[in-house]
Amino acid sequence: MTEHLAVDGGTIAYEVTGSGPLIVLAHGMGDSRAAYRAMIPSLVAAGYRVAAVDLRGCGESGVDWPSWSRTAAAGDLLAVIRHLGGPAVLVGHSFSGGAATIAAAQEPSLITAVVELAPFTRKQSIRVGDLRTKRFRQGMLRLLGTAVFGSVRLWRSYLEVAYPGAKPAHWAERIGRVDSLMREPGRMKALQAMGRSAPTDAGAQLGNVRCPVLVVMGTLDPDWADPHAEGSAIIEGLPSGLGHLEMIEGAGHYPHDQFPDQVVSLTLAFLRSDAARA
């Protein structure tokens, strides 16, 4: 059941399932909390209370906001966690990976651990050699086209690249839902605004994180020519010993939807580890 929380003059939509320690799931730009549909039952079965959140401008959340930065999104997520009686484990994908970093740095008492899935958490730079990687070149051109033209068709085209190989069984429903949402007033403008928001605010907070962090990257993620190098750089930006990187072979930019069982397994093992329990 969808619930709404008033935050800074707007509303954030979320739904809660299960009981136990709190895990909050935050999706990437141009998406909704439905991105986690394949993970939620397993997390609930493992004994967690799972809150899936629609970012500002996305899903069923409001579209009128003064800011679209990761810092603003972090504030929304912290508000939800306070409302639900945290602390919480915070899972963030792509844009929300950076927001999760900021939230953990700003309110260490509310965040016990962070899981970042294909995160944009630091300043990005493109080298000439990166363009030799076909999947990176294809993904970048589609993302740029979406940002410039506000094209739902190009966004769907990007998603085809971002899900390499076989698509999930629910692909037709998934892509149909994304298409429908992105045609609602204000949704594409939210995506474009998030895309223009540089992750430098998240990168500046990496050194201030005090909880354990798991970074999960797909080996075929089109958003980077070298996903492993990007994940490693995030780990290196954290205080020593806090970060851990896992790679999922064959995954693109949405490992939680392509390989939900692997992501759940990695997440639960991480949360059971000595570092996360401490």
CB 88 within 8 A of CB 23: yes
pLDDT < 50: residue spans in the chain: none
Region for residue 59 given its phi and psi (left: phi exceeds 0; alpha: psi -120 to 50; beta: otherwise): left
Structure tokens at 38: 């394949």
Structure tokens at 158: 């990007």
* Alpha-carbon span 43 to 72, nearest angstrom: 27
> Given this model, what pLDDT does residue 132 score?
82
Backbone CA torsion sign across 231, 268, 110, 65: positive
Bridge partner residues of 245 (DSSP) = 215
Task: Determine the angle formed by the axes of helices 134-149 and 187-196, rounding to 10 degrees.
Answer: 120
> Given this model, what pLDDT does residue 276 score?
55
Instruction: Convert the pLDDT of each residue in 38-92 to its tens digit.
Output: 999 999 999 999 999 999 999 999 999 999 999 999 999 999 999 999 899 999 9
Backbone CA torsion sign across 205, 210, 216, 217: positive
Residue with tokens 């999760």: 100
Helices (H), 46-203: 70-83, 95-106, 134-149, 152-162, 171-182, 187-196, 200-203
For residue 230, give the 3-state DSSP assignment.
helix
Structure tokens at 129: 């050699």
Model pTM score: 0.94
Domains (ranges, CATH) in the chain? 3-277 (3.40.50.1820)
